[in-house]
Each structure stands twice: as C-alpha cells, then as structure tokens.
Amino acid sequence: MQLNFSGLRALVTGAGKGIGRDTVKALHASGASVVAVSRTDADLVSLSKECPGIEAVCVDLGNWEATEQALGRVGAVDLLVNNAAVVLMQPFLEITKETFDRSFNVNLRSVVQVSQIVARGMIARGVPGSIVNISSMVAHVTYPNLITYSSTKSAMTMLTKAMAMELGPHKIRVNAVNPTVVMTPMGKAYWSDPHKAKVILDRIPLGRFAEVENVVDAILFLLSDRSGMTTGSALPVEGGFLAT
C-alpha cells in the first residue's frame, strides 16, 4: 500500500520476524523513522542492515522493569504497532501459572505498558497518534490447546475499545487487526500439518491463508489518515472465516 509516513516516528514491537519485520520494512519504505523492538538481537542486526537508519531496541517485553528501562525514554512516537506475542499451547486442564502469566505478560500487559509510554508522550506533545494492536481471528473463535492465547487476544478486543474511548479525546486512535493463519515462523510452527490446516482452510471462503502483506496493508491503513474516522475497531483479515 503506497502511503507516505514522512516526518513521523513509528514503534513496532515483535519486529524481528514475521508480520512485525515486514511492517518495519513497509514503514521504513514509506518514509517513517522506525524504532524496531524485539527479543533476539541477531534479528535486529539483520533488519538494521535491510533498513538503514532504523533504531533497534532489544528487550523482553514480558519483563516490565526491563521494558521500562529500554523504552521509558523512547521519545516522540506518532505511530505504534503492538505486534509481539507468544503462543504457548496447552489443553485447559494442563494450563500452568507460568504459561498463563507469560502469555498475558507478553501478549497483553506489554500492550498496556508500551501504549502508556507512547500515549503519554503524544498527549504531552499535543499531537494526534495512531495505535494498532495485532490480535487474531481467535479473539472470536477458539481452537484446541489455544485457550490461553485466544484469551489474550479476546481481552485485546476490549482493551482496544477501552483505549479508543479514553484516548479519543486526545486525538489518538486505537484499532486492532485480526488475521487468520499467516505462514510466518509462528504460523508455520502451528499450522504446517496439512490435516490441521485443512480444518481452517475449509471454512475460509477465499480458500487460502493470509499473506504477510495482507496484514501489513491493514496495519498501514489503520495507522494512516485514510482511516481517520475509525477507532476502537477490529479489522478482520481472515478471508471471510468469521462470516461462515
């Protein structure tokens, strides 16, 4: 999607791989200054080579104190993409405190923390802003062993609405994107088995999984002024799955 983000500074979490990595590349190509936040330094080193001039921040977003230290003074940010997440699969009866806490800390608590840092800065500068939270179609439907993950994404739906309500008066829009399966490293880890994949594919009217580019386009649209009257929404990128 051809959009111009020149003069704006964007922060993308989970920037090392998959959707986050391609979002950084698209924002960089569209003229934004980009802060790329992720957990594995080697990913950030290779991304910095592909996108000269980006700022790389290596931190575990599941660690509140480390995140505060790494991003507390990140400075002016106009566009935020909360993308980092983990999938820790367990059936309901085997969910542990560790996987539950880790899932919510990375997938949801870090969204609160990073958005607070960024939104406070926007409000202090008196500038408008746009925040996009990367959710999932499993915010609306669930699958075996995905209870904790889908709960984090379902909670993200309400967090997005509540943030939109409180930040709207400051001209900060907050929206979510809800993709179906995308064959990133995360997608491949869980959906490479053709039998498992077929169960989902059979219910997608468009008959295919999403490409990373489909998700990035939705993110860029919601970040941009082209969606200037849209806030608190959850944009499906699921080929019609939720309609069936």
Contact flag: residue 148 with ligand NDP (CB under 6 A): no
Contact flag: residue 71 with ligand NDP (CB under 6 A): no
End-to-end CA distance of the chain: 28
CA 60 to chain centre: 15
Helices (H), 93-241: 97-104, 110-125, 147-167, 185-191, 194-201, 212-223
Of 40 and 192, which CB lies nearer to ligand NDP in the complex structure?
40
DSSP SS3 for 119: helix
Contact flag: residue 187 with ligand NDP (CB under 6 A): yes
Pair 174, 131: CB distance under 8 Å: yes
Catalytic residue among 5, 149, 209, 241, which? 149
Shortest distance, position 205 Cβ to ligand NDP, whole Å: 17
Shortest distance, position 145 Cβ to ligand NDP, whole Å: 14
Contact flag: residue 20 with ligand NDP (CB under 6 A): yes
Of 20 and 239, which CB lies nearer to ligand NDP in the complex structure?
20
Active site residue 143: no
Contact flag: residue 185 with ligand NDP (CB under 6 A): yes
Element (H, E) at 19: helix 18-29
Contact flag: residue 179 with ligand NDP (CB under 6 A): yes
Beta strands in the chain (DSSP E): 9-13, 33-38, 55-58, 79-82, 129-134, 172-179, 234-237
> Which residues belong to the active site?
149
Catalog residues that contact ligand NDP under the rule CB under 6 A: 14, 16-20, 38-40, 43, 60-62, 83-86, 106, 134, 136, 179, 181-182, 184-187
